A and B are shown apart, each in its own frame.
Chain A
Amino acid sequence: MTSQQSSPADSRDPATTGPAHRSDVLEAALPPAVSGATLSSAVAAGGVPASTGGSGAGFPHGGPTVDRSPVIIARGLVRHYHRGSETVRALDGVDLDVRSGEMVAILGPSGSGKTTLINLLSCLDAPDAGTLTVAGRPVTGLGEEALTAVRRGRIGFVFQKFHLLPALTVAENVELPQLFLEQPIDRAHTLEVLRAVDLENRATHLPRELSGGQMQRVAVARALITRPAILIADEPTGNLDRANGEALFALFRRLIAQEGLAVVVTTHNHHLAEQADRIITLEDGRIVREERGCGVGERVTEGG
């Protein structure tokens, strides 16, 4: 098992941080009402969900830097699509580790396999070859229902389209995963999570009454409500303007800092990708480059 092998970018010096001024700009992009401590304390008060158990998947309370073991370990992931006689090698042998408290950005041209990779990492799809361990559970070869069981409560999703249920209020949308997980629904907790995305005062609104950026933040809140170990976002800024896109990434950074989340995000935007700890570039289903990001988060992590 090679799961503990670090990919090159993993070995970066935690002390290397992005330019301070830059993170200041991002902090400024955050709404002032966001109180950094709220979600953390709410999570701490609620205890660690059992679902986050497993090797290195626990929430590192009181400081995200304690446990840096990988929550996603992928080796030689292959995913081929068959279209008639033609085979599309959407993913052609990808190794990747993602640790708690880090943000990995996936860059690459259209059709390079970003979505394919992210579908595998988030257990929405099963690889044709290779091994994958998510939150301590080997998921290779699992069927649809078994994959659902692994996903439930452990992985939060944000997509390009927000896919909020138009019939439900903001708060009800956020609580939806708890409905499926048969968790008790606690409106106070919902409001905490909404406060973390600065939408506390929109809890009873319907999605159609929100802007795109706000809807995407509702989607983020929905992804966070079950306190997942991993947040997966496929082009979350695709439908957002630049300012909202930056605010969303800043929100990710803050959640990583506060919750020790592992975030995997795809984007076409190099500028946004820079804010990740690691930037992976895919081309034709292979990783062609791994760079260290500006590591904006490290400044926060180090308590700066």
Chain B
Amino acid sequence: MGYFRLALRNLAHRPLRTALTVTGIGLAVAVAVSLIGFNLGYRQSIHTSIDKLGFQVMLMAKGCPYEAATMMLKGGTGLLYLPTSTFDEVKMDPELAAITPIFVGLAQKEGGGLRDDEGGAFVVLSGIDQASFLTMKPWLTFAEGPGREGGRWFAPEAANEVVMGFEVAEYEQRKVGDTFYVTVTPQGQTEPQTHEMKVVGILDRTGTQDDGTVFLPLSTARRLFNRPDELTIVGVKLKEFSGVRLREFEKRWAKLPEVQVVSLQQVKTTLVSLVETAQTMIAAVAVVAIIVAVIGVINTILMSVVERTGEIGIMKAIGATRGDIFQIIWLETLAICLGGGLLGCVGALLGARAVEAALRLLIDVGAHGSIVAITPGILLGALGGAAALGVFAGLYPAWRAASLRPIEAIREGE
């Protein structure tokens, strides 16, 4: 029988007290694990959401409406344009992960204006630089199924090819290979011109504005609108997306007179920071829970040391050194904390689903995927943390026990 077994036997001898102490640690660990898991999972899903939007930041002309699509669908004509030079300048920013130029224009629907009440008489045209646009939105794929076979991107300079988003294709009832008439009024003219385009691909549903957009090559779009050197949006993806980085980026580029920096993610960012605030508070609660649990452990072990004063004295009398006693008491504390850690991990795993369900119910998390992500790393960390707490919590009681002088311990024990 080694000291560890001896320690376990001592603990098993006081089952209720041991169980209560272990449960206390277990609860604290479970709370901590769940919170860390929630933190990780939520961040992951927020980041997934952010990534899904492709670019996190847009540069637009000052005064241009933020929610461009909405404004346009309502027939708004407030679109403003940036010179291409802005794009060339911003391209040099060191924090950039990717950048893409976009030219947005409105086309009248076929039969112009007749279907106004059905969601607008306009179609959003997006002139894109295919290569950089796809770098940002690599998930864009072509829909399958009858009438959609053989979807592909247009040739980069194609003058009469378009790719349609899923919804606009449904709405306009287009198949791959169909003709789509684009009616636009070029700059400097009053009469609209109609161009015959060919639908070369229909995109899969993404759940974003892209579903309602008709894509065509950037150069073609500029030519149609007669704005050869202008852009509507410069889409930017930062290397590292955080509030701080974003503000830094804004500061750098807001100095350009005509430019406003708009974060598509302002809402999400707000959400993240809100969650962070809540997490700080909950983390504080977790820390308090852990401190309380540790104090509980120290108290329990100290109490059992005092109770066993006589026993400890006799152990020293019959040959136990300070080190022996220290080890035994210390191992008892460690065992309690490790047991609590294990219990907490199991509890957190079991509770994760419930917690997740509750969270989804209580707050609109606006996130994809699992919110509580309890990884093996977190569990190992929790066990390690519990062991560290045990090591720490055991020091004082073990030292107290080891320092008992045998004669006094035996006297007191009598």
Contacts and interface: CB of A to CB of B under 8 A. Distances in A.
Q: Do A and B come from one complex?
A: yes
Interface of A: 115, 119, 122, 124-125, 144-145, 148, 151-153, 156-157, 159-161, 163, 165-168, 172, 175-177, 179-181, 185, 222-223, 226
B314 A152 contact: no
A157 B406 CA distance: 12
B414 A159 contact: yes
Interface in B1-52: 1-3, 6, 9-10, 12-13
Given A163-B314, A168-B9, A124 B407 contact: yes
Contact of A179 (B6, B10, B317): B6
A122 B9 CA distance: 29
Majority secondary structure of chain B interface residues (helix, strand, loop or mixed): helix
A136 to B, nearest CB: 18
Contact of A180 (B12, B311, B324, B406): B324
Contacts of A172: 1
Given A148-B321, A159-B414, A167 B316 contact: no
Contacts of A175: 1
A223 B318 contact: yes
B303 to A, nearest CB: 15
Interface residues of B, number: 28
A157 B13 contact: no
Interface string B374-414: 00000000000000000000000000000001110011011
Contacts of B10: 165, 167
A152 B319 contact: yes
B414 to A, nearest CB: 5
B151 interface: no
Contacts of A185: 1
Contact of A151 (B12, B317, B324): B317
Given A156-B318, A160-B414, 17 more contacts: A125-B407, A144-B405, A151-B318, A151-B319, A153-B319, A157-B314, A157-B317, A157-B318, A159-B410, A161-B414, A165-B315, A166-B13, A167-B12, A176-B318, A179-B3, A180-B321, A181-B319
Contacts of B405: 144
B322 interface: yes
Contacts of B317: 122, 124, 151, 157
A161 B406 contact: no
B54 interface: no
B319 A163 contact: no
Given A161-B310, A177-B318, A179-B1, A167 B413 contact: no
Give the top 8 A-B pairs by smallest Cβ distance, nearest first.
A167-B13, A163-B314, A152-B319, A180-B319, A167-B9, A177-B318, A180-B320, A157-B317
A168 B318 CA distance: 16
A166 B2 CA distance: 17
Given A124-B406, A163-B311, A167-B13, A145 B321 contact: yes
Nearest to B8: A167
Interface string B304-337: 0000001101111111111010000000000000
A14 B353 CA distance: 84
B324 to A, nearest CB: 5
Contact of A119 (B310, B320, B407, B414): B407
16 contacts: A115-B411, A119-B407, A125-B407, A145-B321, A145-B322, A156-B318, A157-B317, A160-B414, A163-B410, A167-B10, A168-B9, A176-B318, A179-B1, A180-B318, A180-B324, A185-B1
Given A163-B311, A165-B311, A168-B9, A226 B406 contact: no
B310 to A, nearest CB: 5
Contacts of A222: 318
A268 to B, nearest CB: 15
A2 B410 CA distance: 33
A93 B406 CA distance: 23
A152 to B, nearest CB: 4
Contacts of B413: 161, 163
A179 B328 CA distance: 12
